[in-house]
Amino acid sequence: MAGYSSCLMVAFLFVFVQKAWTAGGAGNGLGELYEWHTLEEGLQISQKTGKPLMLIIHKSWCGACKAFKPKFAESAAALELSKHFVMVNTMDKEEPKESKYEPDGGYIPRILFIGMFVILTYLF
């Protein structure tokens, strides 16, 4: 019986650590209700559809990112606005290295809007 309890405890810890490590799937802690894409996919979709792209760059170890993620994930307003964007979030090693993704510095969390002229044309 003691062996069974130990195996059960190890299995539970494995599942718990795995869930914590992956930070919640494609949303990376930013919410699973959004339609997330990789940067490569998002750029292709944006170019094909003309829909602007919202790129959120964040890190798993960043205190400001940790505070931002649940607020964004739970925001009904952000979720509603996300319907007007191709949504992309990159975390840790997924962060694009090109300088064009650091127009005003490499701070994190960083939110960039790519193709915004489409929205301005649409709204005005």
Q: Mean pLDDT across the stretch 73-85?
A: 97
The pLDDT of residue 98 = 93
Residue 3 pLDDT level (bands cut at 50, 70, 90)? low
| 57 part of a folded domain | yes
| 67 part of a folded domain | yes
pLDDT in tens, 91-123: 999 999 999 999 888 999 999 999 866 444 444
What's the total number of domains in the chain? 1
Q: Return the CATH number at 38.
A: 3.40.30.10
Mean of all residue pLDDT scores within the chain:
82
Residues 100/45, Cβ–Cβ less than 8 Å = no
Q: Mean pLDDT across the stretch 80-93?
A: 96
Q: Please report the beta strands in 65-120, taking only residues with DSSP state E, as ranges in sequence order.
A: 86-91, 110-114
